[in-house]
Homo-oligomer: A and B are copies of this chain.
């Protein structure tokens, strides 16, 4: 049987990983898939750069549409990224009857509904294991491995750049800006790191996991997104003293009121496995009603880890492309006519616990006033850590830090209490508020 023919749109770091791993492991992959899988065409605006990656082992074209137009190509791998051209090309490939594999989380999180509908209508597959957590087969775990479960929540470290930065801030006691520069120097952060450090990349991935966990449409616009740029190294230290690590988590949770969909820095108990995921590694925790807690860990980015996920999709498609669409796993795990209309909760309605750090005047009664305000708002306190004034400002200091861990309350109630505390004349600086997740 002749090999399945693959075309890569936008060959670069990931694309050359796909190309090289398919060549290196071709015999083993064929023994698994029952059929060879070959990249026969690749595209890149700069043809010479593409040629440098693949030599004469594949046809190189400048125009991605030449790949889509080639009737011999069975599967198109979209690695261009972004929303505009990538969307056009994916829709054109689907219209041409090609199966599509993509690593483009931004595209699917924003335009997934339109793309999956087009693919469903045409009877082709759109596979996206590489879009979330790189080489970790988390899409497959959620979509196929845990189908017995009513999934309760998913929480993940799904952005390696920010986890690297947070790990370095903790290890070395350095500030965000310093570590970001180091991360850029090492290639862990891009020249423009906005999408990573502001949490947008994590929110794209979380949106996809939320959809397949709960059977709801992708709705990135409803996600609450907060990055790590405001995080101070002193909060990492205080959290440590209280038995917690700070991680940028993507969290999606099913509640009777709706689905939580939020990315923000979170305190996590230090003894949890996920709290010990360091450097650029990713990990996702899934809580199901039957299975309990499961965790998936691995590299979330990089040429060959991402290629591993792309090729797993190619093998799946190789097996299933001749099958009836009903034999295939639905794109979003649930049958397209069986999606739920569970609403995404506004952030104000989300219930969680909190870490608060208040820079206060070092005088009698301040703590009583602050805790009185929380009590009046019906927010109960789990722990208080009050620093000696001299730990902060030396002899004769007049300011100190008060750290408060609260029990659960709604975000809107906390916001109201924060506004009241902030207005106190003895509260001398903007209050730091970091959410806390027990993940139990």
Contact = CB atoms under 8 A, between A and B. Distances in A.
Given A29-B148, A315-B144, A334-B31, A305 B323 contact: no
A33 interface: yes
Interface string A331-349: 0011100101000000000
B25 A148 contact: yes
Given A137-B145, A288-B308, 15 more contacts: A136-B291, A137-B140, A137-B294, A273-B277, A273-B297, A290-B307, A291-B298, A291-B309, A292-B302, A292-B305, A294-B296, A294-B299, A295-B296, A296-B296, A319-B329
A383 to B, nearest CB: 24
A96 interface: no
Interface string A9-39: 0000000010001101100111111100000
How many of these chains are in the complex? 2
A398 interface: no
Contact of A319 (B305, B322, B327): B327
Contacts of A294: 135-137, 296-299
A304 to B, nearest CB: 4
Nearest to A297: B295
A241 B33 CA distance: 47
Contacts of A307: 148, 290
A7 interface: no
Given A25-B148, A29-B147, A146-B137, A290 B304 contact: yes
A326 interface: yes
Contacts of A29: 147-148
A69 to B, nearest CB: 27
B33 A147 contact: yes
